[in-house]
Amino acid sequence: MTEAGHTHGDHSQWAETSHCRVAAVRHFGAFAVLELIAPRVARRAAPGQFVMVTVPGGGSFLRRPISLFAAHADRISLLVEARGGGTERLTRLDVGDAVEVAGPLGSAFPTEDVSNALLVGGGIGCAPLQYLADELSAAGAHVTACFGFRDFRSARAAGAFTIDRLWVATEDGSVGRAGTVLHLLAALDVSPGTTVYACGPTPMVAAVQRWTFAEGLHGYVSLEAHMACGTGSCHGCVVDTARGKLRVCAEGPVFRLDEVTP
């Protein structure tokens, strides 16, 4: 695979497709963790980046943007939620099946000089935070994670994560604390200088942004957006930021919390 890069002075990305084999599959209700043999992707990957995945079997014109859930040695993992026909087919993949993946694409979470990290996720937006937790922990950072889900069905995704200090809330109270992820944050004793990393639905991001600023902290956010190309060519995922209108797939998906207006 050719490394994702920039062309003609803009920030459009390009990446050749890798043909990968499924090495392992783990199911968590409507969610599946696909472990793929993808050495070209794995060696270039960083937490926060994503790949564009071709839905096997035909009938789906557009690739699906999926965050990197983990990367190690020659393998990457993807956490996929069966939301529609295409993603449901991806969750049905079995060991030995082939799948086409383009990437890694997008910006990554900064991880240097972080001693305390707070990871805040909502729903399937939690997906890139496992990879981030792995990298931060390996560098010696103290990592705490707070995940919010709507109900028991969506909270099944939490079973895919292996983060030592992981707190879960559900709006219906079926798993963990009753309430939203903001209720978890309110109960935390956060150290000064903690770096906040967030990813999830826009209302959650806005609430976490307000909380972060009120606590005098700084951080980063991975924005969710509908993506057609994943490379910046179609300009279909433009958002307003302090730096002007930027594309989530090309200049993002990771931005500083203080430059986005969710």
pLDDT per residue as tens digits for the range 151-201: 999 999 999 999 999 999 999 999 999 999 999 999 999 999 999 999 999
Domain assignment of residue 61, given as a range? 17-105
Q: At residue 42, does pLDDT exceed 90? A: yes
Single-letter code of the amino acid located at 65: P
Whole-prediction pTM value?
Answer: 0.90
Residue 249 · residue 229 · CB < 8 Å: yes
Residues 6 or more apart in contact with residue 7 via CB below 8 angstroms: 14
User: Looking at 79, 105, 131, which one is the last position of a domain?
Assistant: 105
Residue 244 has a pLDDT of: 76
- Positive or negative, the CA dihedral 204, 221, 80, 112 is negative
**And the tokens for 40?**
């070209």
Residue 6 has a pLDDT of: 33
User: Do the domain assignments include residue 99?
Assistant: yes
What CA–CA distance (Å, rounded) separates 180 from 221? 18
Residue 85's CATH number: 2.40.30.10
Residues 6 or more apart in contact with residue 11 via CB below 8 angstroms: 232, 247, 250, 251
